[in-house]
Structure 1
């Protein structure tokens, strides 16, 4: 039988990203492989030999495609070069012609699971990776979750580069399979005050809005609320939203309390309007009981993952509902707000007084003291922090800031808000006297505006001193002042600079984007300090040597408050008096501090062990 002719199928050509095309152009222009590796690839994970092999293969692929698909003039030119030199000698002009001929076959399409480093410069990829963003899909999700100001949490990613990234992601939304939402603005959200249009929320509405953007129909606004007081009101509140804002203004000097109360009242107003169809000032006891039941399992319309408050995806509740403790807190907070509204004669009565608090478990151990770090683990963490603080460059500076913050919390048992608010003027050096050694004392203003003095170690002060050198400031200068820990970089926008109170030495507003170099910058916000702490813990999970599985799990669950528990437990274990630990932590009650020694639990465990031992077979 004669052989039948067979159709030869060529394999699909390999595809290359924009970054790889740019790297090949740079190579043709004469840049060294080492320079290309630093500029366009992750130098830590990609060897120069791999990059050189990639660019050589890419060149051969493009030339083969150009010979097959290019014009007759280009084909003749390439064949002549091969005949003369044994291979194609590329010039920038020749490469451009080859790209035009072969690019539509060789150009890759971005996908959600592609690493960011494949499409953008390694420096950008490294900065995004520092926030846990490693693929294009993760970047799109992060942008949609954070909204128009997403770039503010990524060091050294400004609004200009953010605009380029968002535009590119939108251009390739089809191939990625995910799109940046329309409400994510490409303009600088910090360049000028943002005017957010209000959203009208009616009964049964699926689109909800936070308090600052909320508008409600007149019939649900409370203008004619059934529970409105008939006499002269002490507040100028025409409707329920005005009354809620007037109540929240009482806490302007206590932003954390104000934020917590705003969250609870915001949720209640939205439920009244969108779910119950009743004005806040028309609530009856039955409405209050219904809301209390709603807190156990909020409907799907009211729940969603954390996103920016300007996003259309914002929802007042996180998925999963509230814990019994959170339900209890919500009811008590709302009852207190209604009591005040009655007191100022906005409401005639308080229906929440007839509502009982949700049932909660009365826990013996109210504090999560089991989160405290062991002495050995905390000692190894401190050693690793000191080692990483010796690194150079921006990464080293961030380690030094994190080390200073963690040692402040881990030496003095400070809450995260207290540590973020620490000032140089509050840190005092006291020389040795007859009984006490020389030491540093930090004055702390804690809960209830109560002042206390907390000792910190020389190691902690040395860490702060090193962080100040990164900021271009002299910690030991006679006139030294400013936050103990502060951001090293501030976005170069008017609102960002106003937020961080950036000033030049002459008091004029600064113009540089960096807080380094003699500028006075306000300290971290509580949210920023939490972010820095979490970054350090994530890094320590990989950096601390010889972590056991139990230690790894404990460290992974470590929160800023765990350092406060660590101070208490380790001080008591070293023999410190209970009253001293109480004063250090700023507890109002000695009973709160005594939870750390747990003598009843220790006795319970001892006696139970004796009982269990009796149940064991005698031959074991």
Structure 2
């Protein structure tokens, strides 16, 4: 049967397919010598699941990591026909090119943004579209984490991804920086968005609830630089008073624990929101209520719902303030929660907050990642270039 006629299985169903059985049973050429292994896994799928299970207590991280691991393993079996444990540097080069253009498209890509592409659906596909530069960088980072773990666990001898040239990574970072800069809100755009939010109706109790919740969402993402999944997965217990100072304790990407200082303006917004919810003015230790409650059920809003709220705000801002600026309207239509993380980094830099503090607040592992979001040098370079005369 041709590849294009075979529906791709999820990771859970891989052991049931003959083609997967044949490859999963092979001992790859990059397997570590017997006796070095620190995990019980005897095949690539089991080894991958061992790595994934390290994040089982953080559902949002688990889902993202599972998605990338699954894509890689499916590509190994059905496209590249080579065990994960045999992949070398050139194979990973090929996989990177594949992620930029998954072919055949009908087999690998489902409907972009459509619910029909959810796991468990009969129409599920590993990709919704070719990856953009930001998504590609994330995918490579996650796969590198997987391969490093398998080396540390004595399952693999080496991590071939480390051989990819540093220059290529630097190129990706530069491309990512340009991409992020296009998403940074200009001061007038940010002010217009705040004005749109602050002018929302409070005529009914429900409208007032919606307004105060949205204001809290925007303040949390902006002042703390949170990822949307971090906002929706934490409770009020994340607010901790330490030595008289308020901090937000966050378990973020890669299951890493960090803390971010709480700005006094954010604390005021939180107090107003809690008052609207008929809660004590300040968070108390052990408070397990979700930060962003849903009005429809007892739990909190999901990340998708938060993005819907923010996109609605951005579109209303575009229609209200930028009718004569089609480029700005087109920009705001693409707005998402992560843009506020970008904006937070940029505004921290512009406010004169030291680079090391910005990096710590964003909880980045490296300086080069933070530099994607910090553009003070670019502003200075632009101003200096204006000294040239004709």
Please give the TM-score of this superposition, normalised by the length of structure 2: 0.74
SS in 2 for 1:304: coil
The answer to whether the Cα contact below 8 Å between 1:582 and 1:590 also exists between their aligned partners in 2 is yes
Kindly indicate whether the alpha-carbon contact (under 8 Å) linking 1:408 and 1:456 is maintained by their aligned counterparts in 2.
Answer: no
- The residue correspondences of 1:221-620 to structure 2 (distance < 5 A) are 221-227=23-29, 231-232=34-35, 233-283=37-87, 287-299=91-103, 300=105, 301-306=107-112, 307-319=117-129, 321-323=130-132, 326-327=135-136, 330-331=139-140, 333-347=142-156, 349-350=157-158, 352=160, 356=164, 359=168, 361=171, 362-363=173-174, 366=177, 368-392=180-204, 394=206, 396-427=208-239, 441-445=246-250, 447=252, 448-457=256-265, 460-465=269-274, 467-469=276-278, 473-475=279-281, 481=287, 482-490=289-297, 515=298, 521=299, 523-542=300-319, 544-545=320-321, 548-549=324-325, 551-573=328-350, 584-586=361-363, 592=370, 596-604=374-382, 606-607=384-385, 610-611=388-389, 614=390
Decide whether the 8 Å contact of 2:323 with 2:329 is kept in 1. yes
Deviation at 1:334, TM superposition (A): 3.6
| More displaced 10-residue stretch of structure 1: 421-430 or 558-567 | 421-430
CA distance in 2, matches of 1:478, 1:330: 38
Name the SS of the counterpart of 1:246 in structure 2. Answer: helix
Q: Secondary structure of 1:295's match?
A: helix
SS at match of 1:371: coil
Task: Sort the Cα spacing of 1:442 and 1:269 in 2 relative to 1 into closer, same or farther, 3 A.
Answer: same
User: Matches of 1:211 and 1:487 in 2, distance apart?
Assistant: 32
Q: Does 1:211 align with 2:11?
A: yes
TM-score of the superposed pair, with normalisation by structure 1: 0.50
Greater shift after overlay, 302-311 or 384-393? 384-393
Q: Is the 8 A contact 2:89 2:160 kept in 1?
A: yes
Q: CA deviation at 1:415?
A: 3.2
Deviation string 1:81-136 (CA, Å, 9 cap, x unpaired) is: xxxxxxxxxxxxxxxxxxxxxxxxxxxxxxxxxxxxxxxxxxxxxxxxxxxxxxxx
- 8 Å CA contact retained: 1:444, 1:454: no
Secondary structure at 1:251 match in 2: coil
Following superposition of structure 1 onto structure 2, how do residues 53-72 of structure 1 map, counting pairs within 5 Å? Answer: none
Shift in alpha-carbon separation, 1:468–1:540, aligned structure 2, 3 A: farther
Query: For residues 364 and 143 of structure 2, what CA distance do their matches in structure 1 show?
Result: 26
Distance 2:96 2:284 in 1: 57
Q: 1:333 to 1:378 in 2, by over 3 A?
A: closer
SS in structure 2 of the partner of residue 298 of structure 1: coil
Q: Aligned residue pairs: how many?
A: 369
Contact 1:243 1:341 in 2 (8 A): yes
Distance 1:537 1:465 in 2: 25
The separation in 1 between residues aligned to 2:250 and 2:44, in whole angstroms, is 35
> Is the Cα contact below 8 Å between 1:389 and 1:403 reproduced in 2?
no
- Report SS of the residue matched to 2:27: coil
Question: Partners of 1:580 and 1:238 in 2: how far apart?
Answer: 44
Quote the Cα distance in structure 1 between the aligned partners of 2:139 and 2:184: 28
Contact persistence 2:176–2:372 (CA under 8 A): no
Q: Is the 8 A contact 1:389 1:396 kept in 2?
A: yes
Q: 8 Å contact 1:443–1:454 — kept in the other structure?
A: yes
1:15-94 equivalent positions in 2, closer than 5 A: none
CA RMSD of aligned residues (A): 4.1
Structure 2, unaligned runs of 5 or more:
none
The Cα shift of 1:207 comes to: 0.5
Q: After the TM superposition, which residues 96-175 of structure 1 pair with which residues of structure 2 at under 5 Å, given as runs?
A: none
Shift in Å, 1:330 = 4.1
1:346-395 deviation per Cα after TM superposition (whole angstroms, max 9, x unaligned): 45x44736853593525188372453334444334333323325142655
Q: Could you tell me how far apart the structure 2 residues matched to 1:429 and 1:341 are?
A: 39
Cα distance change of structure 1 residues 577 and 529 upon mapping to structure 2, 3 Å threshold: same
Give the greater-gyration-radius structure (CA): 1
| Rounded Cα–Cα distance in structure 1 between residues aligned with 2:363 and 2:80 | 43
The separation in 2 between residues aligned to 1:351 and 1:587, in whole angstroms, is 22
